[in-house]
Structures are given as C-alpha cells and as structure tokens.
Amino acid sequence: MGRAYFGTDGIRGRVGADPMTVDFALRLASAAARVVLGDGGTVLIGKDTRVSGYMFEAALEAGFVAAGANVLLTGPLPTPAVAYMTRHLRCRLGVVISASHNVYEDNGIKFFDGEGAKLSDQLEERIEAQLSTVPLTRASRELGRARRVDSALLHYQEFCAGVLPAGVNLSGFKIVIDCANGAAYKVAPRILADLDADIVPIGCSPNGRNINDGCGSTAPQLLQLTVPGVHAHVGVAFDGDGDRVVMVDHLGRLVDGDQLLFVIAAAAKAAGSLRGPVVGTVMSNLGLEVALRRLGVDFVRAPVGDRHVLAKLKDSGGMLGGETSGHILLLDRTTTGDGLITALQVLSIMKQTGRSLAELSAGMEKLPQVLLNVEVARRFDPTAVPAIAAAVRRIEKQLQGEGRVVLRASGTEPVIRVMVEGRDAADVRGCADELADAVRTAAAPETAPI
C-alpha cells in the first residue's frame, strides 16, 4: 500500500496545513485505536513545548476516548521518556506530539508500541488505510477516561539516574545544559543536579514559540561560547523532543553524534562489553569508520533514520548505533534514541576515566564533510535524474577514491540533502556546491522530474 503520511519519524508538517490539523489528529487517533487497540486499552500521550501541542493533545485525547481507550496525559516530556513510560505503565500505545528539531510552526505525531518501540511500516500502513473512515464514537458506557500522570517525570528521572554505575555521581563537574526550550527543560536539569553536578542552564525557558530557536543541538553556537566562558567542564545540548544530543568540550568545540558514538564504543570495547558491530548511517563521517577499524571494531552503515539503524542493529546483534545528528541507540539501556541517556553515558565515562571530553574524542579524526540542504517544491529521487547522476560521477572521479558522495530526499522536510566528504576541505566544499547547483537546476519548475 505504501505510506502517504508517515515518514521516517512519524507524521510531520506545518501546523494548519494538511496533515497537521485538528481534524486529521482526531481521525488519526480513531484509526490507531481501531488498528492497534481493538477493543480497548490504555494510551500514553506526551508532547514537547510547542503552543500547538495543546490542541493536538486535546484532539488525540478525544479520538482515543471516543474509541473506548483510556488516556494518560503526561504534558511536556521527552520522546524517549514517553517510550519508557509506555512500557513501564504497561500501556498498549504511546503517542508523542512533536516536530523534534523543526521550528515551532511545525508539529508532528509519532507512535510507540507497548514495548516502547516505534511501530512497524506495516502497522503504519494499516493505520493510514483507516483514515478515511468516520471517527468511531462508542456508547457512553463504553467510552474511555482521561487523566493526567504527574509521576511520569519522577519515574523517568529514576530510570535515567540508574544508568550510571553504582556509586558514581557527577560531583565536581560544571555542566552547561541547553534544552532547546523543549521537552527536556524540566527533567534534564533535575537529573544532572540530583547527581551533584553544578548546572548552568540555557534554553530552559519555553514560551511555546521559542523551541529550537537559536538553541539546542541544531544551533549549539551559544553553548559553544558559554562553556569556556563560565569555565565549565562540558556542555550538553538536546533537540526539541530530547531524543538527540550533541556535546561541547571545555574548549568550546562541538562533539557530534559520530564522535559520541566513538567515545562510547571505545569505552565499551576497553571494558569488554561491546557486542556486535557499531551501526552508523550513510551520512556518518568516514573518520568514524577509520577510528573504529583501528580499535578492531566492525562498522556497518544503514539508511538514514533511527528505525533503519535499529533494524540493522537487530539483524547484526549489535547494541550501539546512531546518527551524526546525535540520535544514538544504546540497546543495552533503552529501546529508542535517548539524548539524556547518551549524555549520562558519556559523562560517566569522563568521571570514571578522569579524562576530558576533548581527550576521549581525540581518537577520531573527522574528515572534511559538507552537508547542504537544497529546498525543493516536492520530494523526488535525485539519483534517478540523469543530469544529477552525471554530476555525481564527475565529483566521484575528482575525489579519486578518497571520499564519498551521498544524495537523498529528506523524510521529514521538503529538501534534498547533498553530502560530500573527502580529504581536502576546499575540494569538498567546491564539489558540494557543484552538486547542489545540479540539484537546484533539476528541481526548477521547468525541469523538475514528474
């Protein structure tokens, strides 16, 4: 059947435009209830801090309750916390209202099953097939009930604190924490403070419209200035829904998801606890692959998207994988990407080894990599366009076997992602610009593929 609405990470779009409308959210809840819940069950609904979250929360609540499901409402809570609490409270379905790292004008909806894992493609297709059906409203005696769950934050805090080895805390660490004015703004500072860290918070004052606005993992410049400015040991930045994290060393240098994967993998290898290969994506820096090979650790690549990384981990028996963006899977700890768990893992390695983040990440040399996002009117497969394919061949020849070219349509935004990687920074930038121009030309209205 295929999926018209579900992308690589749920459903996402501009609020007020199809599909991010109240009517659609109501129909989606009813469809999900029909497919996943059948004759009833409990649904957990969490959200980030976008002002539009209130209306989508109300619409989803109405759709599920009308279909006979009980609903637990957590309010603002990181996506991985919703996954954990869905499993912890034995709910049959978890729902997150968030557009992750997007601007506040966007929003989205994604689902977790009773085990805290994202729904399969097949289930999402079945839900989409029910969207045209009139929303279900059961008789009064069969309606569900809805209530707030104020204990969710506390339960998740306890779970996160348990990630650190017994007897290890963060005393003596000064940490700047940037929560992107998003879902982690309450729970993340509390957890780090409870572990005896000295906290300097930024991006922790959401107003419904400032999520990801000049802060968080997609805009870490303020964090990079603040960490050395206040003489902190490290900085931590989450995205709007808390499933991604990047860090900043004491010198103000960004440490991205590839480098964090290396730090965690190197520590696990040294401890003898690493299982299976490390899984990255086609966008992961070649330097990660080289550094892991030097440690004797296998590295495999999956398509972009945490669901693909997870599938590859399960197929290969691995436990550690992730993306350059900081969406990291630690399957010995969680079922989904969790920015806070990842940060705590790295902080505990720093604490136990007595080494700074700069020292820990120095074992991986990043190769020059340029990623450009080319806006298009609609998504298309760039590799199927002859002019673009010819440009790729020219660039690959120029790189002389010491680089990579990746082209792909984003699963969450109307852009084509152009990535070029190689040994020489100037050559890489020139090649990326050339390829981006080829994509723009092909995407122009008079030449765009049908």
- Residues marked active site are found at 100
Residue pair 57/127 in contact (Cβ under 8 Å)? The answer is no
Neighbours of 251 (CB within 10 A): 11
Burial of 144 (0-12, 13-18, 19+ CB in 10 A): buried
Question: How far apart are alpha carbons 264 and 269 in whole angstroms?
Answer: 9
Closest CA to 320 of 329, 307, 312: 329
3-state secondary structure of 429: helix
- Helices 121-129 and 22-32 cross at an angle (nearest 10°) of 120
Q: What 8-state DSSP symbol labels residue 216?
A: S
First to last CA, the chain: 21
Alpha-carbon distance values, 284 to 152, 281, 440 (Å): 34, 5, 24
CB within 8 Å of 310: residues ≥ 6 apart: 117, 118, 321, 329, 331, 336
Alpha-carbon distance values, 135 to 33, 65, 131 (Å): 10, 11, 8
Q: In sequence order, which ranges of 280-338 are alpha helices (DSSP H)?
A: 286-295, 306-316
Residue with tokens 């609904």: 45
Question: How far apart are alpha carbons 446 and 99 in whole angstroms?
Answer: 32
Q: In sequence order, which ranges of 363-419 are alpha helices (DSSP H)?
A: 386-399
- CA contacts within 13 A on the Cβ side of 419: 20
Residue with tokens 């061949």: 393
